């Protein structure tokens, strides 16, 4: 059997391969913003939130990663002068993240880039089809996670 045939019969292989390529392409697409992919997600998330409501823990939950990773990411964004920390008035363990002007500008560039990409999707792929595919992939994700316990 050809390797290609083997790949096509195995959904996880196909999905993994597609995602690795998408990841690489997104990284290249975001190069002009000077941000890595996760940094871009973080900073544009803050842009969309009510100012002063975003905490590292919230970001870690949202992006299904650890506080450790988010901590590195925030440190990098802070070193670039894109955001600032602000200690919570009620709980001194908690930080709120705020975009600096440069950070807001950068986040808007990220959003524009992602929106432009999404518009090219919409030209070629019916929105319902894309939503359905994402829903299916989410189901796959859940089944993979469930497969851990068995």
Partner DNA sequence: GTAGATAGTTTAGGCGCTCAATTATCTTGT
Partner DNA sequence: ACAAGATAATTGAGCGCCTAAACTATCTAC
Residue 68 interacts with DNA (CB under 7 A)?
yes
| Separation of alpha carbons 26 and 16, rounded Å | 15
| Separation of alpha carbons 115 and 75, rounded Å | 26
| Separation of alpha carbons 98 and 101, rounded Å | 10
Instruction: Determine the size of the site formed for DNA (CB under 7 A).
Output: 29
| Separation of alpha carbons 24 and 43, rounded Å | 19
Task: List the one residue from 36, 45, 80, 94 that touches a second copy (CB under 8 A).
Answer: 45
Residue 85 interacts with DNA (CB under 7 A)?
yes
Contacts with DNA, 114-133, as mask; x by CB under 7 A? --------------------
| Separation of alpha carbons 127 and 147, rounded Å | 30
Residue 93's binding partner among a second copy, DNA, none (Cβ under 5 to 8 angstroms by kind) is DNA
CA-CA distances (angstroms) from residue 120 to 27, 31, 94, 123, 127?
A: 17, 19, 39, 5, 11
Residue 95's binding partner among DNA, a second copy, none (Cβ under 5 to 8 angstroms by kind) is DNA
Instruction: Determine the size of the site formed for a second copy (CB under 8 A).
Output: 63
Task: List the one residue from 15, 60, 94, 108 that touches a second copy (CB under 8 A).
Answer: 15
* 90's tokens: 């009620």
Contacts with a second copy, 97-126, as mask; x by CB under 8 A? -----------------x-xxx-xx--xx-
| Separation of alpha carbons 17 and 22, rounded Å | 9
Q: Tell me the window of 1-9, 77-85, 93-101 that interacts with a second copy (CB under 8 A).
A: 1-9
């Amino acid at each position: 059997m050809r390797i290609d045939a083997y790949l096509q019969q195995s959904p996880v292989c196909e999905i993994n391969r597609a995602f690795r390529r998408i990841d690489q392409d997104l990284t290249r697409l975001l190069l002009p913003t000077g941000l890595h992919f996760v940094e871009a997600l973080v900073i544009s998330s803050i842009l969309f939130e009510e100012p002063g409501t975003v905490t590292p823990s919230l970001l870690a939950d949202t992006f299904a990663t650890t506080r450790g990773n988010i901590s590195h990411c925030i440190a990098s964004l802070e070193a670039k002068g894109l955001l600032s920390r602000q200690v919570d008035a009620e709980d001194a363990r908690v930080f709120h993240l705020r975009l600096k002007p440069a950070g807001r500008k950068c986040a808007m560039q990220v959003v524009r880039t992602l929106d432009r990409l999404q518009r090219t999707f919409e030209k070629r792929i019916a929105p319902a089809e894309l939503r359905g595919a994402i829903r299916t992939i989410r189901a796959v994700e859940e089944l993979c996670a469930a497969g851990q316990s068995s």
